[in-house]
């Protein structure tokens, strides 16, 4: 069976060879990338900054060069995946946070020199409702939930089968998920983040990425590249991989 996650990891591998400080996101696709990096013997001479304890622990199996973001070191490149890629007309927006690491992912994405997001074709959408995660300070949870409901949203507290009560992020905050229409997502993010107590949302607008790489089960790689100067995204090229 064709492994799209492995194809994505191998596609971005050459972009990482000459980079010294690499930022890594969280999730199954990033896990596959770490595996590919290790098999290519590239982890031992890299400095890695990660977006979660989960990725920290994974990378630490292979190298001790895991750097705290408290050092202020800027990743030369940041690689992450996504839950949804809204590709509708001129709008090319990512939705992330299924793994609960959205705040740290957005921080690394904002500050890294180059930002590349990789994902499978099945995650590309045009118009439909999507679940958007919102990270909230625990003190403000009831207030924020009430405000979201009065705004016409229906937040659901994210819980886990592994513990009683809400999931707590690596930052000590809690998560709610709201189902929203895909139109005007960036405007919605600004509205949500204007509520005191909201720490971050999982909406990643165009200023937070430089390239999006999509793979399908047929072996096709599509690249959407954004110019930082113009702020406009475009479909740049298509490459075919053999099974």
Tens of pLDDT, residues 187-196: 999 999 999 9
Alpha-carbon gap, residue 118 to 214, rounded angstroms: 6
Q: What is the pLDDT of residue 235?
A: 53
The residues, ordered by sequence, that sit 6+ positions from 72 with a Cβ below 8 Å of its Cβ are: none
* Regions of the chain where pLDDT drops below 50: 242-243
**Model's pTM, two decimal places?**
0.91
What is the distance between the terminal CA atoms of the chain, rounded to a whole angstrom? 9
Residue 159 is a catalytic residue: no
Joined together, the tokens standing for residue 76 give 């030369």
Q: Which fold has domain 130-202?
A: Alpha-Beta Plaits (3.30.70)
- Catalytic residue, from 10, 105, 120, 135: name it: 105
Topology agreement, domain 4-121+204-240 and domain 130-202: no
For residues 56 and 103, what is the distance between their CA atoms, to the nearest angstrom?
A: 16
List the chain domain ranges.
4-121+204-240, 130-202
What is the distance between the alpha carbons of residues 225 and 236, in angstroms, rounded to a whole number? 6
Fold entry, domain 4-121+204-240: Rossmann fold (3.40.50)
Compute the C-alpha angle 63/67/73, nearest 5°. Answer: 140
Query: How far apart (Å, rounded) are the C-alpha atoms in residues 13 and 17?
Result: 7
């Amino acid at each position: 069976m064709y492994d799209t996650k492995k194809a994505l990891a191998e596609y971005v591998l050459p972009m990482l060879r000459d980079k010294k400080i690499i930022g890594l996101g969280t999730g199954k696709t990033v896990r596959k990338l770490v595996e590919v990096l290790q098999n290519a013997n590239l982890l031992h001479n890299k400095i890695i900054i990660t977006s979660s304890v989960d990725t920290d622990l994974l990378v630490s199996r292979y190298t001790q060069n895991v750097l705290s973001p408290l050092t202020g070191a800027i990743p030369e490149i940041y690689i992450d995946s996504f839950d949804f890629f809204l590709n509708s007309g001129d709008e090319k927006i990512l939705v992330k946070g299924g793994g609960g690491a959205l705040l740290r992912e957005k921080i690394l994405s904002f500050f890294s020199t180059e930002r590349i997001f990789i994902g499978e074709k099945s995650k590309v959408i045009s118009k439909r409702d999507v679940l958007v995660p919102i990270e909230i300070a625990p003190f403000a949870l009831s207030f924020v939930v009430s405000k979201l409901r009065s705004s016409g949203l229906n937040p659901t507290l994210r819980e886990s089968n592994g513990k009683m009560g809400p999931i707590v992020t690596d930052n000590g905050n809690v998560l709610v998920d709201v189902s929203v229409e895909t139109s005007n997502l960036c405007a919605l993010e600004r509205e949500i983040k204007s509520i005191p107590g909201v720490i971050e949302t999982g909406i990643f607008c165009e200023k937070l990425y430089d390239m999006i790489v999509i793979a399908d089960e047929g072996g096709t790689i599509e690249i959407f590249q954004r110019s930082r100067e113009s702020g406009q995204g475009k479909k740049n090229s298509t490459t075919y991989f053999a099974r």
